[in-house]
Amino acid sequence: MAASEDGGDIGYDGSNTTGFVSPAADALEGPVDLAALLDLRRPHRYPVRVLGEALAERGILPGDVLIADTSAPPAHGRVAIVMLHGEVWVAQLAFRRGQWWMRPGSADRPMVALDGDGTEIWAVVAALVRPKV
């Protein structure tokens, strides 16, 4: 997306073509506003950059940006941002035997009980943005 002389954004609308107009021009939409699409204007939505490869098996790679929603309720199987004794973890949640558990990325690591003593499910991941392809 480019900026116009007055500083506004310019999106592609299909009108600046050579030759014939594309039949797909009717399906073109305006510029994509990621802040609106990801609902980042809400005060409880935060972008969080992923470090490490702990959740690579789930398709979450280093450098990805997770959209963390602090108002979303935890749910079994969802990925969440967890505070565990002063450390920040990104892990899959599991609800078993009446309590929340944190499942690390690799299947060979044991699950960790979130017993409330120094633990908090801070946010549930609502979306993933991959800036690099």
What is the tens place of the pLDDT at every residue in 73-92?
999 999 999 999 889 889 99
What are the respective helix, strand and coil percentages of the chain, to the nearest 5? Answer: 10, 35, 55
Domain presence at residue 67? yes
pLDDT of residue 116: 76
Q: How far apart are CA 107 and CA 110, in angstroms?
A: 8
pLDDT of residue 70: 97
Domain limits for position 61 = 34-129
Q: Is the pTM of this model over 0.75?
A: no
Please state the length of the chain.
133
CATH code at position 93: 2.10.109.10
| Residue 99 Cα distances to 29, 66, 70, 94, 102, angstroms | 46, 25, 19, 8, 10
Q: How many domains does the chain have?
A: 1
Q: Which residues of the chain have pLDDT under 70?
A: 1-27
pLDDT in tens, 6-19: 555 555 555 555 66
